[in-house]
């Protein structure tokens, strides 16, 4: 079913209902809707839903782990200086905080350094190694970066540092010559979960280190308590969800355990403070809150200022001070939203102007450029454009001396890093730097090469599609009966998480009658709906609604929605969260 909207510049989405194997669903227990949802996500048996720590994959399966632990143990025993070099996003911040907290608890001399994206760019560059050298580390440890830092690792080694790379990004054709590399995606690594976030990789390294130190009697020898690493799973959960990695079973265990500790009040003061400024109730926090409330506030530091502000919030042990830090991050996030809003308006207006001349057919890949776009916000802008036009999108800004930096976001079916690799292989020298994931990447090129890159990028996307069309789809778990539309099912589904990438939150579709509609804050659409068969009245809200929805809806609409419980002045009511609307 094609669900067209009124605005020609916004691509219509095609509704798809997830297929359900009835026999698979019958093997599961619980509410019938939940059984259907689990079966549609490939769950075959109840034990796949067991999310206890005993179900985690063993660290011994990660290549390079023994060498990594050797480096860390030697540094601990010889009282060597360690320096963590992190990334400037939420995954990098949580990875950095996790490493610092645990290693310091083991008696290590540890400091951290996060490249300012505006001065040094991403990863372990030779320039950031020069800064690191001033801190005199014996062992340099990358978290959430390093796998593509060939020159940076070489520079560190030349200065006499040993280097441990912990990363999860996809490697290039050549690996850096580090003393040890732990990355589930490096060639030959047998670790079954390739979806670990950077913070997950560091958590596994620390698990292995603790086991080695326990075996060697380190804790008794030094009068130190053996750390309970489960106490740090709040950080692992936050970084994993915020980095939008696939929630396979291993990641779901890490996230579920972290969420349980947050709900129980056993989390870092900084995480409690971020929940507070985000107006989220700690006892009911879910993965969505980590991704859409905490993640953006933490990321705002790296986008507009310096990620050290976010890391210090996570490291802070004092609740009052952490709350002050979280409020500063909240203010940065508000500023980021304002900047993003203006950039969105420019990008959408430019595309809406050219679309009629293209007869409605956009290129297979979009590469947009404005000289004064904010370097820290172009990634979010690329995501917004991608969502609206369903095209792999790269947004560029000028960073000086004729160089452009871009941030890329992709759609299902197009591996964005592979597309950039395709361009680099066929047009050597066109890209000065690139790296990333299937769905997100970063790159640099010369401004003079942008026209050639636009052509090559579109060709790379078409080569991957191999004749397939880019169809904007929205997926549903089917229609709910009127008697199922209640708080009880909403609570069951919320508790059944964590939901996230590749294990999506349950979404449903259906037709409703519009009984009331009003616009909130010029961008959100509040609805009162009636079930067409029973007349059951329901509240619904579409956050950041499409402009055409705000102009007024007809009496009957088709919705794709999630179930939510809205609490207001002590009253709890079912609310539908609208993902898509057609009429």
| CATH topology assigned to domain 2-42+474-582 | OB fold (Dihydrolipoamide Acetyltransferase, E2P) (2.40.50)
Rounded mean pLDDT of 358-364?
A: 70
* Mean pLDDT, rounded, of the chain: 92
The closest of 368, 371, 375 to 350, measured between CA atoms, is: 368
Region 279-291: what's the mean pLDDT? 93
Given the DSSP bridges, would you call strands 473-476 and 537-542 parallel, antiparallel or unpaired? unpaired
Question: CATH number of the domain at 355-471, please?
Answer: 3.10.310.30
Q: Is the pLDDT at 360 greater than 60, yes or no?
A: no
Question: Residues 489-505: pLDDT tens digits?
Answer: 999 999 998 999 899 99
At 511 the three-state DSSP class reads strand
- pLDDT-derived band at 357 (thresholds 50, 70, 90) equals low
Residue 362 has pLDDT above 70, yes or no: yes
- Which residues are registered as beta bridge partners of 3? 13
- Burial of 228 (C-beta count, 10 Å sphere; 0-12/13-18/19+): exposed
Contact in structure between 441 and 420 (CB atoms under 8 Å): yes
The answer on pLDDT for 311 being more than 50 is yes
Q: Tell whether the model's pLDDT for residue 6 goes beyond 50.
A: no
Q: Give dist(CA 46, CA 29) in Å, integer.
A: 8
Alpha helices in 413-523 (DSSP H): 416-426, 450-465, 487-495
Q: What is the DSSP string of 165-198?
A: EE--SPP-SS----SEEE-TTSTT---S-TT--H
The tokens for 378 are: 């172009």
pLDDT at 4 over 50: no
Q: CB under 8 Å to 326, separation ≥6 — which residues? A: 270, 273, 274, 276, 277, 297, 313
Confidence bin at 213 (pLDDT 50/70/90): very high
Decide if pLDDT at 402 tops 80: yes
What does pTM read for this prediction? 0.90
Q: Would you state the structure tokens that stand for residue 83, as one six-digit string?
A: 């320096």
Q: Which residues of 320-391 form beta strands (DSSP E)?
A: 366-369
Q: Phi/psi of residue 119, each to 5°?
A: -105, -40
pLDDT confidence tier of residue 3, bands split at 50, 70 and 90 = very low
| Chain Cα centroid distance, residue 19 | 26
Six-digit token string for 193? 């979960």
SS3 labels along 497-516: CCCECCECCCCEEEEEEEEE
In the chain, domain spans: 2-42+474-582, 60-331, 355-471
CA angle 567–571–573, rounded 5-degree value: 65
What is the spatial distance between Cα 438 and Cα 392, in angstroms, rounded to a whole number?
11
Question: Using one digit for the tens of pLDDT, what is the confidence trace for 528-550?
Answer: 999 999 999 999 999 989 888 99
pLDDT(273) > 60: yes
Report the pLDDT value the prediction gives residue 505, as an integer from 0 to 100. Answer: 96
Which residue, 193, 115, 108, is CA-closest to 149?
115
**CATH number for the domain whose boundaries are 60-331:** 3.90.1640.30
């Amino acid at each position: 079913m094609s669900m067209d909207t009124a605005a020609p510049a916004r691509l219509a989405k095609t509704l798809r209902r997830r297929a359900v194997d009835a026999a698979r669903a019958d093997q599961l227990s619980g509410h019938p809707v939940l059984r259907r949802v689990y079966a549609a996500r490939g769950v075959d048996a109840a034990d796949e839903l067991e999310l206890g720590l005993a179900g985690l994959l063993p660290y011994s399966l990660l290549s390079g782990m023994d060498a990594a632990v050797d480096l860390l143990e030697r540094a601990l025993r010889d009282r060597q200086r360690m320096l963590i070099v992190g990334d400037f996003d939420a995954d990098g911040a949580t990875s950095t905080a996790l490493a610092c907290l645990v290693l310091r608890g083991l008696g290590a001399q540890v400091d951290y350094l996060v490249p300012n994206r505006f001065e040094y760019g991403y990863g372990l560059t030779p320039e950031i190694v020069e800064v690191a050298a001033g801190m005199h580390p014996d062992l340099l440890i990358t978290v959430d970066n390093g796998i593509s830092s060939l020159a940076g690792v070489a520079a560190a080694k030349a200065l006499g540092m040993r280097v441990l790379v912990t990363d999860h990004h996809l490697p290039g054709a050549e690996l850096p010559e580090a003393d040890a590399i732990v990355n589930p995606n490096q060639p030959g690594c047998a670790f079954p979960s390739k979806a670990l976030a950077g913070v997950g990789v560091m958590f596994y390294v620390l698990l292995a280190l603790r086991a080695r130190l326990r075996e060697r009697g380190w804790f008794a020898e030094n009068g130190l308590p053996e750390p309970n690493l489960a106490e740090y799973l709040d950080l692992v959960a936050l970084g994993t969800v915020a980095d939008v990695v696939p929630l396979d079973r291993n990641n779901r265990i890490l996230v579920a355990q972290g969420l349980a500790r947050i709900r129980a009040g056993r989390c870092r003061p900084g995480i409690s403070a971020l929940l507070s400024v985000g107006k989220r109730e700690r006892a009911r926090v879910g993965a969505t809150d980590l991704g859409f409330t905490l993640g953006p506030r933490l990321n705002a530091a790296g986008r507009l200022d310096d990620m050290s502000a976010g890391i210090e919030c996570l490291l802070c042990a004092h609740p009052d001070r952490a709350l002050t830090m979280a409020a500063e991050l909240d203010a940065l996030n508000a500023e980021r939203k304002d900047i993003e809003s203006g950039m969105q308006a420019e990008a959408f207006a430019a595309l809406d102007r050219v679309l009629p001349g293209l007869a409605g057919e956009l290129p297979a890949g979009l590469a947009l450029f404005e000289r004064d776009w904010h370097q820290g916000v172009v990634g979010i802008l690329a995501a917004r454009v991608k969502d609206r036009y369903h095209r792999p999108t790269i947004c560029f800004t000028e960073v000086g001396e004729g160089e452009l930096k871009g941030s890329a976001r992709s759609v299902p079916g197009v591996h964005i890093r592979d597309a950039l690799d395709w361009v680099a292989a066929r047009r050597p020298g066109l890209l000065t730097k690139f790296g990333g994931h299937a769905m997100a990447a970063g790159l640099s090129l010369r401004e003079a090469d942008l026209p050639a890159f636009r052509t090559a990028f579109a060709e790379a996307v078409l080569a991957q599609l191999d004749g397939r069309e880019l169809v904007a789809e929205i997926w549903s778990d089917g229609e709910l009966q009127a008697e199922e539309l209640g708080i009880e099912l909403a609570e069951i589904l919320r508790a059944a998480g964590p939901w996230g990438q590749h294990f999506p939150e349950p979404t449903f579709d259906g037709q409703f009658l519009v009984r009331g509609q009003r616009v909130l804050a010029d961008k959100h659409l509040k609805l009162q709906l009636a079930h067409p068969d029973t007349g059951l009245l329901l509240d619904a809200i579409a956050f950041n609604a499409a402009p055409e929805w705000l102009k007024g809806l007809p009496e009957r609409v088709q919705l794709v929605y999630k179930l939510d419980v809205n609490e207001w002045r002590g009253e709890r009511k079912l609310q539908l969260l609208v993902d898509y609307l057609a009429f």
